[in-house]
Amino acid sequence: MAVCDANYKFTLVDIGDSGRQSDGSVYGCSYLGHAIENNLLNIPAREMLPNSDKTLPCVFVGDDAFGLKKHMMKPYPSSHLETDQRVFNYRLSRARRVIENTFGIAASRFRILRRPIIAKVRKVVLITQSIVVLHNFLMKQNASKW
């Protein structure tokens, strides 16, 4: 389970659960899910949108496997949606692509992620933690070149 920023860097990760569970189940059992649900992450308060009179909360974006929570946005279910709901789902899907791309970049750099890692759980956790740190380092290095 991971969260990233708009620059494809991991900001929060929770490593160690089985990949066979649904995202919603992993979230519910994870330290990350517990921290979000119990307001332990110092999530910024609602803020006024620029050039607007609307205030919006800071939220996480998930897919339909997640439950709808105070700090979690997910797409509208069903295939029979109003136009504004379809537009919302499309835009939410575009936002979710950032984390998908972040995982894709990491997997293309570290090919060990392309298949199951045959090792004890503790070693897999250490490998994954190392990949997250190295990925963020490389993303920061590449950003400084621009």
- State the DSSP string of 56-91: E---EE--TTSPPBTTEE-PPPSS---HHHHHHHHH
Provide the residue range defining the domain that includes 116. Answer: 2-145
Helix/strand/coil percentages in the chain, nearest 5: 50, 10, 40
Confidence at residue 144, expressed as pLDDT on a 0 to 100 scale: 66
Q: What predicted TM-score, i.e. pTM, was given to this entire model?
A: 0.82
Q: How many domains does the chain have?
A: 1
16 has pLDDT over 80: no
> 135 burial class (0-12, 13-18, 19+ CB within 10 angstroms)?
buried
Joined tokens for residue 47: 């803020």
Query: Using one digit for the tens of pLDDT, what is the confidence trace for 119-141?
Result: 998 999 999 999 999 999 999 98
